[in-house]
Amino acid sequence: METVKFEELQLDDRILRAVTDMGFEEASPIQAKAIPVELEGCDIIGQAQTGTGKTATFAIPILQHLLADRSEENRSETRGNKGRLVKRRAIKALILTPTRELAIQIGENITDYGKYTGIRHAIIFGGVKQGPQTDLLQAGVDILVATPGRLLDLIRQGYVNLSSITHFVLDEADRMLDMGFIADIRRLLPMLPTKRQTLFFSATMPKDIVNLSRSILSNPTRVEVT
Ligand code: AMP
């Protein structure tokens, strides 16, 4: 396959500059196939393992969409702690991943690719105190990277509202199922707006993953990297 350079992908300058800072020039095969489709706003079902450049495949287009969408209307009005009406960023993108390690890694990628964008993100996962995570959420974030259990917990406590999500990523779907997160995912799905872009990634595509993907995606483009 012909190689594709990042500068050919029509990325926002602020993102391209960050990619260049990282020393990346050519898109990996999954990036070359998926990024143009994702920038069009289409859903993706991607079969790819960690190590293929999968994280940038969803992180870069989400950053680009959020840059394009950013405007005053995208800030939701929320009552501040003294009853004042304050403008707080609504969460626009949710990236769901099975483990704390993956969540941290995705967060690092967003920090790297997003460093010139002003787009803010938070990472939430279980097994640690929730205070630092809820502080970030209350300050307002654009992108939330989360493991399912802690996310549901913080939703129940009122720290997270998913009603403004426009971009949803389900990362490592097969591991999610293996780790028993299917019930959590089924609980989360109805909280997402139906009008959204969904990017679905899994290293393997057994029947139950295909079935899950059908209930989440709308007319997806299939991207495979072997
Ligand atoms: P991932 O599959 O997202 O875990 O990425 C695996 C590794 O490849 C990470 O260290 C990335 O920083 C790196 N990487 C991602 N995309 C590229 C690229 N286009 N060129 C070189 N390295 C990359």
Instruction: Say which residues have a Cβ less than 8 Å from residue 83's Cβ, sequence separation at least 6.
Output: none
Separation CA 199–CA 188 (nearest Å)? 15
Full pLDDT tens readout for the chain, 226 residues:
689 999 999 999 999 999 999 999 999 999 999 999 999 999 999 999 889 999 999 999 999 999 999 854 545 555 555 555 656 789 999 999 999 999 999 999 999 999 999 999 999 999 999 999 999 999 999 999 999 999 999 999 999 999 999 999 999 999 999 999 999 999 999 999 999 999 999 999 999 999 999 999 999 999 998 7
Q: What is the pLDDT of residue 83?
A: 57
Strand partners, 167: 93, 197
| CB neighbour list of residue 149: distance below 8 Å, 6 or more residues apart | 126, 181, 184
197 Cβ below 6 A of ligand 1? no
Per-residue pLDDT at 90: 95
Does the beta carbon of 31 sit less than 6 angstroms from any atom of ligand 1?
yes
The span from the CA of 19 to the CA of 13, in Å, is 10
57 C-beta closer than 6 A to ligand 1: no
pTM summary value: 0.93
The whole-number pLDDT of residue 4 equals: 97
Residue 40, both tokens: 């069009």
CA nearest ligand 1 atom 20, residue: 24
Closest CA to 199 of 154, 155, 158, 168: 168
What pLDDT shows up at residue 71? 52
Residue nearest to atom 6 of ligand 1 (CA): 51
